[in-house]
Amino acid sequence: MRIGSHEISGRTRVFAVAGSPVTHSLSPAMHNGWYEDHGIDAVYVALPVSAPLAAEAIAHAFALGIGGLNVTAPLKEAAAVAAISLDPAAALLQAANVLVPDGQGWRGLNTDAPGFVASLDEAAPDWRARVQTAVVLGAGGAGRAIAFGLQQAGVPRVLALNRDRAKGLAAARRLSIEVWDFERLPEAFAAADLIVNATTLGMGASHAPDWPLSKARSSAIVADSVYAPLQTALLKKAEALGLIAVDGLGMLIHQGALAFENWLGVRPDVRAARARLLTILAERKP
């Protein structure tokens, strides 16, 4: 059987991303493009998995011989629980976005943290010298990873805002960061050198709040973890105000490259991936 130029056989390895929703994911296009670049006999698919079925699905994926699994919202916490071992970042954050086969089960990794930092390095190379206070919107799996990554990169003050107060306080205890209620958005935006949306607000047809970017500093950097659409309402507003805007595609690509390397021992071309994914996004209907 052929898919494009790729011959699928009994030897073809299968990799996947699991989440809900997952039909919008660009990970299959990204990884399948890398397999073609490197002549690797593998295929990458998207698996829609609801949160209540996460533990069972992750166990079955290992039993079926899946070569590696990416995990997206809302399954990252469940993936950490299901793994038989965790890297230090995933253990601290209690969230895993990459699962690697390891003996009798999965080894859980968190590549979101270094992936986000790498995306900032690429889009705003001088950001480390500019950012003293970072504001992260959301304290879920992605938000905690981004906050941790920024801490590891040396940002002196990381402040998180979360709609779920209990989850926010748990993140504060785990990471030793400040957590404010979402009602303090204007105050937080005014204090920030870097603003990061780590929620799903603005994804697809979801409603995004009227972000108070008029309060932000003229030198602020604004980043979004959402990449569908590529230009979210937050980033459009940032660009209209002349602020540096960093789209979510960079984080997707860099965390995916780290997953690919952990599964296959090969470092893929992130620039080739970005070119391919930008073409796909341009062809999608608004």
What is the predicted pLDDT for the residue at 286? 54
DSSP string over 215-247: GS-TT-EEEES--SSSS-HHHHHHHHTT-EEE-
Q: Are 26 and 261 in contact (CB under 8 A)?
A: no
Catalytic residue among 76, 167, 236, 285: 76
Query: Is 167 one of the catalytic residues?
Result: no
Q: Are strands 13-19 and 6-7 parallel, antiparallel or unpaired?
A: unpaired
Return d(Cα 31, Cα 15) in angstroms, integer: 9
Q: Are 218 and 189 in contact (CB under 8 A)?
A: no
Return d(Cα 282, Cα 286) in angstroms, integer: 9
Q: Is the peptide bond before 52 cis (omega within 30 degrees of 0)?
A: no
What is the predicted pLDDT for the residue at 128? 97
What the chain holds in terms of domains, given with CATH numbers, is: 2-110+253-283 (3.40.50.10860), 113-247 (3.40.50.720)
Consecutive sets of 10 residues in the chain, 286 residues long: mean pLDDT of each? 71 96 93 96 97 96 97 93 96 94 96 97 96 94 92 95 78 84 94 95 74 95 93 95 96 98 98 96 76
Q: Position of tokens 């780290």?
A: 258
Q: What is the dihedral of CA 104, 71, 162, 202, to 10 degrees?
A: 180
Q: Position of tokens 């968190």?
A: 110
What is the predicted pLDDT for the residue at 206? 62
Sequence letter at residue 64: L
